[in-house]
Chains A and B, each alone.
Chain A
Amino acid sequence: DAKTTQPPSMDCAEGRAANLPCNHSTISGNEYVYWYRQIHSQGPQYIIHGLKNNETNEMASLIITEDRKSSTLILPHATLRDTAVYYCIVRSGNQGGKLIFGQGTELSVKP
């Protein structure tokens, strides 16, 4: 699995967009980018994933650079409930669903 690099922590003002970066410079052609988040003392929650096109769902948007070496998760209007650790994970589709978690980014949304 390609390794990912994320900043350990970030702050964001409530109501503003939260932009969480992730570097995955060794990603291979068949690997997807996944984002999960973990609110304190809960299990991780799937947010979004993509291969090379930008993706949007009701939770967030995922912007993947053209060379696929980095991506950004965007929470368009952060709320206090978005305070969590956000994990960027890359994996190929033929690995039985295993997820290899890094340390993630601890996002603090402040009023």
Chain B
Amino acid sequence: SQTIHQWPATLVQPVGSPLSLECTVEGTSNPNLYWYRQAAGRGLQLLFYSVGIGQISSEVPQNLSASRPQDRQFILSSKKLLLSDSGFYLCAWNQGGNEQFFGPGTRLTVL
């Protein structure tokens, strides 16, 4: 069966520090991968999606970047965090089907 992992589960970082969040998927190959962010009390916003290794599409201009170094690994990064980067970050995958599967999320607090 397929599973999706995200780490860390929670993170507290100072403004201006770098960020690296990791997402890995098991039990499938060549998935579509997605990064979403959910600010407090708001809906999910799609940040990036990838249909293959090295292929990244950005949905909104922002302080973040994404990379897909391996087929089932998706990384969200920042060189310098802003206060507005705080939120709940969710990784998701699907594979040409209709259902999108979400990971457990990383709660980021920037102080």
Contacts and interface: CB of A to CB of B under 8 A. Distances in A.
Interface stretch (A21-29, A74-82, A92-100): A92-100
A101 B96 CA distance: 19
A98 B90 contact: no
Contacts of A104: 43
Given A98-B46, A101-B44, A46 B105 contact: no
A interface SS class:
loop
B94 A97 contact: yes
B45 interface: yes
A43 B46 contact: no
A98 B34 contact: yes
Contacts of B51: 96
Interface residues of A, number: 21
A68 interface: no
Interface residues of B, number: 25
B36 to A, nearest CB: 8
A43 B103 contact: yes
Interface string B72-83: 000000000000
Given A43-B90, A43-B92, A46-B99, A101 B45 contact: yes
B92 A96 contact: no
A42 B88 CA distance: 9
A96 B49 contact: yes
Nearest to B105: A43
A44 B44 contact: yes
Interface of A: 32, 34, 36, 38, 41-46, 49, 87, 96-104
Q: Which 3 A-B pairs have the closest CB atoms?
A: A43-B102, A101-B44, A46-B99
Given A36-B100, A43-B90, 9 more contacts: A32-B98, A43-B105, A44-B90, A96-B32, A96-B51, A97-B34, A99-B92, A103-B43, A104-B43
